[in-house]
């Protein structure tokens, strides 16, 4: 009889093969294999997104078959062959092709799902070299992606054998417009990219937060000293008392209200009240249920209605009626215009919390270096982090160094602080490096969400089809703390008209506090919610007028010379008409096909087609919003670009470099990117508001031009001279005159460059007056989506069949990356329309909270319109948020087109669609 | 304490002597742990070879408890298993199907366990082994509620036994979820339907999952349909009262009313697919 393997020790020696070599490691036998691979073997290419098998980021091959490493005991790998992303190359030449295919297709954006996708795809391709699309989807279905919308990943796998993938470098002066492979792509497909959780100094302590389990509770600590004494390895407990500076932070300093640790009362489920710091394993093992804190649950405000009810308790004593802030844009007499309008339509819509669901949960570490503190973490906004951490620690901003890691998805949520105050404070106080990695649940309960919105609106039009008025009222549930609530309240009234001329207009908004998780920035700052209401209402107006819904939009679309609702006349670059016109051929064909399908339908399926438009201002709303770029010429003739526009997967590192290369007139492969580390790179602002291509891109353009001017000045050459960048020297051809600059002979400045140029760009805006009139943005992006869907009227399920997306991007700096933004935006729009709603306290994981999977995204056709902005670099405008806005309303308009119902509370889940169908008494849909 | 027995005797011996959790494919074990570490001894049964594989016997099929969903999908099985195979394809993604086991899905006893309706429709029985011996329990009796089974702490679910009664019957599984992959069922239906020479319904089993604390058979509907011709509009015979025995709940996935409604539609569709 074989002997039972009885491992009574906490640690055991386990032997298995990893990536072709034998590993014998000492680990807890029950430790998740993912943890062992990452922490014991340093194979951090295997990502941990959920620790529950819900996301597939940790997919590895076990004896050639894909498994989730987070669901396996390390001891179960005994005697097996494990292959991680780092070992795929050893399995044969297929993998190199697959990597290249991923890069060329733009299949990796943030890259956090990429290792899982690559491993899953390898398993498929090793047994099936010519898979069908369905086989690819089945193989990738176990890995979630939040950035790409999956189609480029599916294409990368399907077309892996189609050609030998070469990498072309665009000619000098032609980087802009090139489908350049992302410059930070290679580490994403090698598994070597460093995200927040992938690095920590040896011996770093761990910190874990104690979080409130109730929506609202008073609390008292027990004997914290005794707890430390009783738990070996615990070094300290941190509470509000330990915060040396201000126990308060926030992305908008005027409204900063969020404590690092709550004091006496916690205002939302998931709010931190204390943190335990100590040796990694000891802290990991703590059962935090036993932490000495007693809670007294208090009645919470969990809805806008609760919060606005007379006599409701105040979430913050200084904010009357629980109103954080109001927004207002008014133009002319809207009530009179509505009273006189030939037709009117009105509606109410409600949306819920939407979770960003970045595949990478927040993570990072901090260490104290003398009187400085360094924080390395995933972030969208290093300089904002720097000032907040300085304020929390009571030190100067210059004493804080923020080292941004690669960001495994951001979408707005990584603008706000997460792990940073905990690791910075702990490292500062203990003088030792400290690390923190959020679990999926911790990320979901404590980080910001999309604002739930409740919108009431009424619009009117004349017989000739011209919109005359829109009256829009919206309340946004901003949760317990301000975060980006003021921005949502300010941005929405500017945008609620949509990209149309609306002469009489009133948009009033409020951000309302509740005892729920703070709502913050999420791709579009409230505008996606707004478009859901406004674009559906415009469909109703068109229907009442008996007009074609697309032609109605075209008739009312803004042009270069019509004023917006803030009275701004853009003068140039208003490409919305071109977007609608680009959709017209598919619109007409789809309308016909849909009608034919429905006329012949005998079963429960009906089809519909819907359209929606969008506009979105790039950058801060009437506020300063500068970016500074530094570009340096190195003695060896290479160019250093201090690229502080944080790339969260959208591609800013690549796009900004393309712009700078053409401005300078230098081949792009001579560029070396310098990271957004605040100690070496100037402030490029935050990655938000679709501003990086536009604002940081413009700064890079100006810096590139300035360096070029400086070189030409030194050579005494004219503006039109051609500079040839060579190793260690420059050759300047000015007509028939040739000039050489030997770089090694030039002195270097303190960055080590022989020539340096720095430029700042701040988009020209003007403040809004009390009626919201002014110039809120220098540049707007425009777009329109067309959705074709199929509804099962018996089950209420909606399948999106096809999306056609036209976007005016001004100038497509990198069409592949723009398509990536559009497809990813479409995927998030589908999620918002059909499946995504976060309920605080329920379903705080990625199997209850659903984001679209590889099988939920239809083919997306992107049509790029280039109506150049007079201000943007090479005419470019933003696309990041623009892409998500029109999808949901287009789908909801298609739903109405298919079956004549509207779902007023989003998302339109099967049960809600079915309820609407039953209420409307649709023929063929009755039960029984 | 972590034990990894290599024989069934060792495994049940370990369960007899330790109040242990059983670990197999880990696909429910680890998510349930969350951030905690196991506080009880763990018996990892994945090295017990006797628990693996599918075998055919004179009167029954025996599916070893450690059979993974991928192994089940790869096995040559008669048409009555088509529903179970369809369910296997819907359990998580490939990663989960490669690790998750038949025994694990049953012992976890989630109301939304995808394999339960098809196995109920196959009149499956589970085999439980302890140091005291072996017993068989009908699956319909084994799962007694949401995450509750008749398995004693000292017992191991060693196999699922499927009687060879309707092996050439058609079988269909339909799952309804709010997305395509990696989705927990809102409602699901499995039907096994055998006809006689006149194409009359000889034997029909209909099971519905995610619409009550445990998946259940619709016995009254089965009786009502037995003996009727398996013809084109069989679905029209199914009425709302036939799903009245279900007791669905409201949760983040759907309302209770919707679940009843959807279950009725799914039963009709699955029936139609079996009959046509």
- A717 and A780 in a single domain? The answer is no
Q: Residue A797's pLDDT is what?
A: 98
Beta-carbon separation of A54 and B182 below 8 A: yes
Regarding whether A702 and A821 lie in a shared domain, the answer is: no
Is A672 inside a domain boundary? yes
Task: Dig out the tokens for A549 from the structure.
Answer: 């819904």
Residues of B in contact with A59 (CB under 8 A): 95
> Do A915 and B9 make contact, defined as CB atoms within 8 angstroms?
no
Residues of chain A with pLDDT under 70: 1-10, 164-167, 923-928
pLDDT of amino acid A923: 67
Count up the domains in chain A and report the number. Answer: 3
* Distance (Å) from the alpha carbon of B197 to chain A's nearest alpha carbon: 30
Strands A400-404 and A372-377: parallel
Q: Structure pTM?
A: 0.98
Closest to A29 (Cβ–Cβ): which among B2, B92, B93?
B2
Query: Same domain, yes or no, for A589 and A667?
Result: no
* CA A701/CA A597 separation, integer angstroms: 51
Please indicate, yes or no, if residue B13 is contained in any of the structural domains: no
- Residue A735, domain member (yes or no): yes
Considering only CB atoms, B31 lies closest to which of A52, A797, A911, namely A52
User: Residue B231: what pLDDT?
Assistant: 86
Query: Do the domain assignments include residue A424?
Result: no
Distance from CA of B262 to the nearest CA of A (A): 6
Q: Map residue A206 onto helix, strand or coil.
A: strand
Q: What is the pLDDT of residue A922?
A: 79
In a domain, B235, yes or no: yes
User: What total number of domains does chain B contain?
Assistant: 1
Point out the residues of A that are catalytic. Answer: 881
Same domain for A704 and A597, yes or no, is no
> Which helix (H) or strand (E) element contains residue A335?
helix A334-340
User: A71, A122, A847, A915: which to substitute to probe chain B, counting the most B Cβ within 10 Å?
Assistant: A71
Q: Do residue A738 and residue A662 come from a single domain?
A: yes
* A441 contacts B26? CB cut-off 8 A: no
Is the CB of residue A594 less than 8 Å from the CB of residue A897? yes
Q: Which position has the token pair 């205002």?
A: A267
Smallest CA–CA distance, residue B177 to chain A, in Å, is 9
Looking at the DSSP bridge assignments, the partners of residue B191 are B172, B206
A564 and A707 in one domain?
A: no
Asked if A911 and A787 sit in the same domain, the reply is yes
Domain of A677, CATH number, reads 3.30.365.10
d(CA A103, CA A728): 31
Beta strands A860-865; A797-808: pairing state: parallel
Q: What residue of B is the nearest CA neighbor of A855?
A: B180
pLDDT at position A309 is 98
Q: Which residues contact A407 (CB under 8 A, 6 or more apart)?
A: A110, A195, A196, A358, A360, A378, A379, A380, A414, A646, A647, A648, A649
SS3 A398: helix
Cα separation of A87 and A81, whole Å? 11
Residue A65, domain CATH: 3.10.20.30
CATH number at residue B214: 3.30.390.50
Is A909 a domain residue? Answer: yes
pLDDT value of position B276:
81
Q: Beta strands A671-674 and B42-44: pairing type?
A: unpaired
| Together in a domain, A640 and A786 | no
B2 touches chain A (CB under 8 A): yes
Check whether residue A126 and residue A3 sit in a common domain. Answer: yes
Crossing angle of the two packed helices A697-715 and A652-664, in degrees rounded to 10: 30
- Residue A256: inside a domain: no
Q: Is residue A382 part of a domain?
A: no
DSSP A448: -
pLDDT of residue A530: 98
Give the minimum alpha-carbon distance from B166 to chain A in angstroms, rounded to a whole number.
30
Instruction: Provide the domain limits for residue B219.
Output: 170-275
Same domain, A613 and A633: no
Residues of B numbered 39-98 whose beta carbons fall under 8 angstroms of chain A's beta carbons: which are they?
39, 42, 44, 46-47, 70, 89, 92-96, 98
Looking at chain B, the whole-number percentage of residues with pLDDT higher than 90 is 93
Q: Is B250 on the interface with A (CB under 8 A)?
A: no
Q: Which member of B36, B46, B186 has the closest CB to residue A910?
A: B186
Residues A61-81: tens digit of each pLDDT: 999 999 999 999 999 999 999
Residue B203: predicted pLDDT: 97
**Residues pairing with A25 in the sheet:** A14
Is residue B157 within 8 A of residue B103, CB to CB? The reply is yes
Q: Which residue of A has its CA nearest to B96?
A: A67
Q: Do B4 and A7 touch (CB under 8 A)?
A: yes
Range of the domain at A709: 627-761
How distant is the Cα of A778 from the closest Cα of chain B, in angstroms?
40
Q: Name A87's Cβ contacts closer than 8 Å, sequence gap at least 6.
A: A18, A19, A20
Q: Model ipTM? A: 0.97
At B36, is the pLDDT very low, low, confident or very high (cuts 50, 70, 90)?
A: confident
Name A561's Cβ contacts closer than 8 Å, sequence gap at least 6. A569, A571
User: Which of A144, A795, A843 has the CB atom closest to B252's CB atom?
Assistant: A843
B contact residues 118-157, partner A, Cβ 8 Å cutoff: none
Q: Do residues A858 and A876 both lie within one domain?
A: yes
As a whole number, mean pLDDT of residues B209-223 equals 97
- The model's pLDDT over A340-368, given as tens digits with 9 standing for 90+, comes to 999 999 999 999 999 999 999 999 999 99
In a domain, B196, yes or no: yes
Asked if A852 and A800 touch (Cβ cutoff 8 Å), the reply is no
- pLDDT value for A169: 87
Burial of residue A232 (number of CB atoms within 10 Å: 0-12, 13-18, 19+): exposed
What secondary structure, in 3-state letters, does A576-603 show? HHHHHHHHHHHHHHHHHHHHHHHHCCCC
Across the interface, of B239, B257, B258, the residue whose CB is closest to A928 is B239
First to last CA, chain A: 62
Give yes or no: residues A730 and A824 share one domain. Answer: no
Q: Is the pLDDT of residue B3 over 70?
A: yes
Distance separating alpha carbons of residues A426 and A614, to the nearest angstrom = 45
Q: In what order do the strands lie in the sheet with A265-266?
A: A265-266, A217-221, A293-297
pLDDT of residue A1: 35
Does residue A401 sit within a domain? no
A76: tokens are 């179960």
User: Rounded CA gap, A901 and A916, in Å?
Assistant: 6
In angstroms, the CA B18 to CA B5 distance is 13
Across the interface, whether the CB atoms of B35 and A439 are under 8 A apart is answered yes
């Amino acid at each position: 009889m074989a002997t039972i393997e009885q491992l009574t020790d906490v640690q055991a020696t386990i032997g298995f093969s990893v990536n072709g070599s034998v590993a014998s490691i000492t680990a807890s036998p029950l430790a998740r294999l993912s943890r062992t691979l990452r922490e014991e073997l340093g194979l951090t290419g295997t990502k941990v997104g959920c620790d529950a098998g819900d996301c597939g980021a940790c997919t590895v091959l076990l004896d050639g078959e894909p498994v989730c490493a987070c669901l396996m005991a390390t001891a179960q790998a005994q005697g097996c062959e494990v292959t991680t992303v780092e070992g795929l190359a050893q399995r044969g030449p297929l993998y190199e092709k697959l990597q290249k295919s991923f890069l060329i297709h733009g299949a990796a954006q943030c890259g956090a799902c990429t290792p899982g996708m690559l491993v899953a795809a390898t398993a498929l391709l090793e047994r099936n070299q010519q898979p069908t699309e369905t086989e690819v989807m089945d193989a990738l279905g176990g890995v979630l992606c939040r950035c790409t919308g999956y189609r480029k990943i599916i294409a990368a796998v399907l077309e892996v054998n189609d050609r030998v993938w070469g990498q072309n470098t665009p000619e000098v002066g032609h980087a802009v417009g090139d489908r350049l492979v992302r410059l930070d792509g290679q580490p994403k497909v090698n598994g070597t990219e460093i995200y927040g959780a992938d690095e920590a100094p040896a011996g770093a302590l761990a910190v874990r937060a104690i979080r409130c389990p109730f929506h609202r509770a008073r609390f008292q600590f027990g004997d914290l000293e005794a707890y430390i004494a009783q738990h070996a390895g615990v070094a300290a407990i941190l509470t509000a008392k330990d915060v040396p500076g201000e126990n308060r932070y926030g992305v908008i300093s005027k409204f900063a209200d969020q404590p690092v640790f709550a004091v006496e009362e916690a205002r939302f489920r998931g709010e931190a009240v204390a943190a335990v710091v100590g040796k990694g394993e000891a802290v990991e093992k703590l059962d935090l249920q036993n932490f000495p804190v007693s809670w007294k649950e208090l009645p919470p405000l969990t809805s806008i209605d609760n919060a606005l009810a007379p006599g409701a308790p105040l979430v913050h004593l200084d904010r009357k009626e629980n109103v954080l802030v109001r927004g207002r844009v008014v133009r002319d007499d809207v009530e009179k215009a509505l009273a006189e309008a030939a037709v009117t339509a009105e509606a109410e819509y409600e949306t819920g919390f939407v979770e960003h669901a970045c595949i990478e949960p927040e993570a990072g570490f901090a260490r104290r270096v003398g009187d400085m503190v360094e924080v390395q973490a995933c972030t969208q906004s290093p300089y904002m982090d720097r000032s907040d951490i300085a304020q929390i620690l009571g030190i100067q901003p210059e004493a804080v160094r923020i080292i941004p890691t690669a960001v495994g998805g951001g979408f707005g949520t990584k603008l706000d602080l997460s792990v940073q105050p905990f690791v910075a404070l702990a490292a500062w106080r203990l003088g030792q490096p400290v690390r923190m990695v959020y679990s999926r649940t911790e990320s979901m309960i404590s980080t910001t969400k999309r604002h739930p919105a409740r919108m009431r609106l009424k619009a009117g039009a004349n017989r000739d089809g011209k919109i005359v008025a829109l009256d829009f009222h919206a309340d946004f549930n901003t949760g317990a703390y301000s975060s980006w609530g003021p921005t949502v309240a300010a941005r929405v009234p500017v945008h609620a008209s949509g990209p149309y001329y609306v002469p009489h207009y009133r948009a009033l908004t409020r951000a309302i506090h509740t005892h729920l998780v703070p709502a913050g920035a999420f791709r579009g700052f409230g505008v996606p919610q707004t478009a859901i209401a406004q674009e559906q209402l415009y469909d109703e107006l068109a229907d009442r007028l008996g007009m074609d819904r697309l032609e109605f939009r075209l008739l009312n679309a803004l042009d270069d010379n019509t004023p917006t609702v803030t009275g701004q006349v853009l003068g140039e670059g208003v490409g919305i008409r071109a977007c609608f016109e680009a959709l017209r051929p598919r619109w007409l064909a789809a309308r016909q096909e849909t009608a034919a399908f429905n006329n012949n339908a005998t079963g429960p399926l009906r089809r519909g087609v819907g359209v929606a438009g969008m506009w979105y201002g790039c950058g801060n709303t009437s506020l300063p919003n500068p970016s500074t770029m530094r570009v340096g010429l190195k003695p060896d003739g290479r160019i250093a670009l201090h690229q502080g526009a944080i790339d969260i997967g959208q591609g800013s590192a690549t796009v900004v470099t393309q712009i700078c290369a053409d401005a300078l007139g230098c081949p792009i492969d001579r560029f070396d990117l310098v990271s957004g580390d605040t100690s070496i790179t100037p402030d490029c602002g935050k990655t938000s508001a679709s501003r990086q291509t536009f604002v940081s891109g413009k700064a890079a353009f100006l810096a590139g031009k300035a360096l070029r001017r400086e070189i030409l000045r030194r050579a005494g050459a004219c503006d039109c001279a051609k500079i040839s960048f060579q190793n260690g020297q420059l050759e300047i051809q000015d007509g028939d005159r040739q000039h050489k600059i030997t770089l090694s002979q030039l002195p270097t400045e303190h960055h080590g460059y022989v020539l340096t140029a720095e430029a700042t760009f701040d988009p020209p805006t003007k403040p809004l007056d009390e009626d919201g009139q002014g110039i809120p943005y220098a540049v707007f992006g425009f777009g329109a989506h067309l959705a074709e869907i199929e509804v099962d009227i018996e089950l209420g399920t909606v399948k999106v069949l096809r999306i056609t997306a036209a976007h005016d991007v001004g100038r497509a700096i990198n069409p592949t990356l723009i398509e990536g933004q559009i497809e990813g935006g479409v995927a998030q729009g589908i999620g918002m329309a059909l499946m995504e709603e976060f309920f605080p306290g329920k379903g705080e994981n990625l199997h209850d909270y659903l984001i679209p999977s590889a099988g939920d995204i239809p083919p997306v056709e992107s049509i790029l319109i280039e109506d150049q902005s007079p201000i943007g670099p090479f005419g470019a405008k933003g696309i990041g948020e623009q892409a998500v806005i029109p999808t949901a309303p287009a789908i909801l308009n298609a739903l109405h087109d298919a079956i004549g119902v509207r779902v007023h509370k989003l998302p339109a889940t099967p049960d809600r669609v079915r309820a609407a169908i039953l209420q409307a008494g649709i023929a063929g849909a009755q039960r029984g | 304490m972590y034990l990894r027995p290599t024989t069934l005797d060792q495994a049940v011996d370990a369960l007899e002597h330790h109040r242990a959790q059983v670990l197999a494919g880990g696909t429910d074990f680890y998510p349930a742990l969350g951030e905690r570490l196991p506080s009880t001894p763990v018996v990892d049964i994945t090295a017990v070879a006797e628990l693996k594989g599918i075998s055919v016997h004179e009167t029954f099929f025996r599916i070893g408890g450690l059979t993974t969903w991928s192994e089940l999908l790869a096995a040559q099985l008669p048409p009555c298993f088509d529903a179970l195979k369809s369910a296997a394809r819907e359990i998580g993604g490939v990663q989960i199907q490669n690790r998750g086991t038949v025994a694990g899905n049953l012992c976890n006893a989630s109301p939304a366990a995808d394999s339960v309706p098809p196995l109920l429709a196959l009149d499956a029985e589970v085999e439980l082994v302890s140091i005291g011996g072996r017993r068989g329990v009908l699956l319909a009796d084994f799962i007694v509620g949401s995450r509750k089974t008749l398995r004693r702490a000292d017992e191991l679910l060693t196999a699922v036994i499927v009687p060879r009664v309707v092996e050439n019957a058609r079988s269909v599984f339909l799952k309804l979820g709010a997305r395509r992959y990696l989705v927990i069922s809102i409602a699901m239906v499995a039907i096994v339907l055998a006809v006689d020479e006149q194409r009359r319904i000889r034997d029909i089993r209909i099971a519905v999952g995610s619409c009550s604390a445990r998946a259940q058979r619709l016995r009254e509907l089965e009786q009502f349909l037995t003996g009727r011709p398996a013809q084109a509009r069989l679905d029209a015979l199914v009425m709302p009262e036939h799903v009245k025995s279900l007791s669905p709940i409201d949760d983040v996935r759907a309302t209770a009313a919707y679940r009843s409604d959807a279950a009725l539609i799914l039963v009709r569709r699955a029936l139609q697919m079996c009959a046509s």
